[in-house]
Copies of this chain bind each other. A is one copy, B any other.
Amino acid sequence: MSELPPSLNPPVRTLLGPGPSDIHPRVLRALAANTVGHLDPYYLSLMNDMQQMLRATFRTANPLTLAISATGSAGMESTVVNLIEPGDSMVVCVNGVFGGRMVDVAERAGARVTRVERPWGEVFEPADLKDALVKARPKVVGIVQAETSTGAWQPLEEISKLVHDAGALLLVDAVTALGGIPVEVDRWGIDAIYSGTQKCLSCPPGLAPASFSPRAVEVILQRKTKVQSWYLDVGMLAQYWGSERVYHHTAPINMTYALYEALRILHEEGLDAAQARHLRNHRALKAGLAAIGIEYTTQAGRELPQLNAVRIPAGVDDLQVRSALLNRFGIEIGGGLGAFKGKVWRIGLMGHGSRESNVLQLLGALELLLQEAGHKFAHGASVAAANAVYAGG
């Protein structure tokens, strides 16, 4: 090349958007550990240990638990294309961007899709699915546990019973859920589930943890057609993750190091403790935001602690505030997607990013920017409200 581009020099950010989230320094160090081969005895033993940690994170004994070698969206595709054969009936619950995406993915896999819809920001009640289960007689029902576009927290236990009573498999998007709120694969009877590394696991994006129940594996083994994606064919992937170690593709070694370390950090703290931390920081943030007139858009009582979707106050310029947060304070928060564009901010308190210090710096900065734009409240009002929660309010 005649002229080389500049040296790599990323600015330092506090990542409080919808993901990627703040990365623990230990995870970055793990990422940079010396690379070994994907069939090296050390790597194979690392995969075994990682599988154990993934099972503990999903709360499952499923043998077919692995990390797909691509981001969370490929996790969605992997679960759908392995369970669906052309012509199969699938019900997809849509109350935001990611349910909508699942419809697209399922249709590309040849599914006859029945959409069940709720307004953005709301969740599904079991009753919402009854008609579709009777009429569509689906093989698979897909639903998003933590809708990253709306901040809605979808309960799954009762819906799972209903889905299984109808003879269908339950497929769950846990991209933003895993690590931040309870995800009980075995207790709730989830048949296929996927997540991403860059949300509450606090690892850079690049892998998609996934798990399939024995019932789902049975369905996959009885397919009449090959899985349409060679890369995401879990039957083949299982032979590499299993004791046969049959070469499939070259695994992303260093990303695996990072996820291994991220899972280790999570289990050092403990899943329950991590979830309690997410909840506490969410409560403090919510109190602080309320003190400066910022309200949640999500159905009351269904707000995700790790993804806070709030209404942009009237008269406030979305881009101007987000740019100032980024450029002056180094803080990233997310804008709204689709129908929420320009109307909603998405504040992530995920994994390592869910910390008191992050809540306080964001509130302080946001408060100042709104004051400078002419909004009136006492200096420190938001931080005072948050600290009252932290102090045991």
Interface, chain A (partner B; CB < 8 A) = 1, 4-8, 10-13, 15, 17, 19-20, 22-23, 28-38, 40-43, 46, 49-50, 52-53, 56, 69-74, 77, 101, 104-105, 107-109, 196, 198, 204-206, 226-231, 247-255, 257-258, 260-261, 264, 267-268, 326, 332, 337
Residues from chain B with Cβ under 8 Å of A49 in the complex:
5-6
Q: Specify the chain B residue showing the minimal Cβ separation from A16.
A: B37
Residues from chain B with Cβ under 8 Å of A7 in the complex:
264
Q: Pick the residue among B1, B205, B258 that contacts A52 (CB under 8 A).
A: B1
Q: Pick the residue among B12, B32, B46, B196 that contacts A250 (CB under 8 A).
A: B196
- In the bound complex, do residue A255 and residue B253 qualify as a contact, i.e. CB atoms below 8 Å apart? no
- In the bound complex, do residue A11 and residue B70 qualify as a contact, i.e. CB atoms below 8 Å apart? no
Q: Is the interface of A mostly helix, strand, loop or mixed?
A: loop
A104 to B205, CA, bound (A): 29
- In the bound complex, do residue B13 and residue A36 qualify as a contact, i.e. CB atoms below 8 Å apart? yes
A33 to B25, CA, bound (A): 10
Leading 10 A-B pairs by shortest Cβ distance: A5-B49, A32-B32, A206-B252, A73-B249, A70-B70, A204-B254, A28-B32, A205-B250, A1-B56, A1-B267
- In the bound complex, do residue A204 and residue B37 qualify as a contact, i.e. CB atoms below 8 Å apart? no
Q: Specify the chain B residue showing the minimal Cβ separation from A323.
A: B41
Counted per complex, copies of this chain come to 2
Q: Pick the residue among B109, B250, B258, B337 that contacts A71 (CB under 8 A).
A: B250
Residues from chain B with Cβ under 8 Å of A32 in the complex:
28-29, 31-32
A252 to B5, CA, bound (A): 20
Residues from chain B with Cβ under 8 Å of A249 in the complex:
71-74
- In the bound complex, do residue A252 and residue B255 qualify as a contact, i.e. CB atoms below 8 Å apart? yes
Most chain B Cβ neighbours within 10 Å, of A5, A247, A261: A5
A225 to B17, CA, bound (A): 35
Residues from chain B with Cβ under 8 Å of A260 in the complex:
5, 8
- In the bound complex, do residue B204 and residue A206 qualify as a contact, i.e. CB atoms below 8 Å apart? no
Q: Specify the chain B residue showing the minimal Cβ separation from A56.
A: B1
Q: Specify the chain B residue showing the minimal Cβ separation from A266.
A: B1
Residues from chain B with Cβ under 8 Å of A28 in the complex:
32-35, 254
A239 to B28, CA, bound (A): 29
- In the bound complex, do residue B226 and residue A108 qualify as a contact, i.e. CB atoms below 8 Å apart? yes
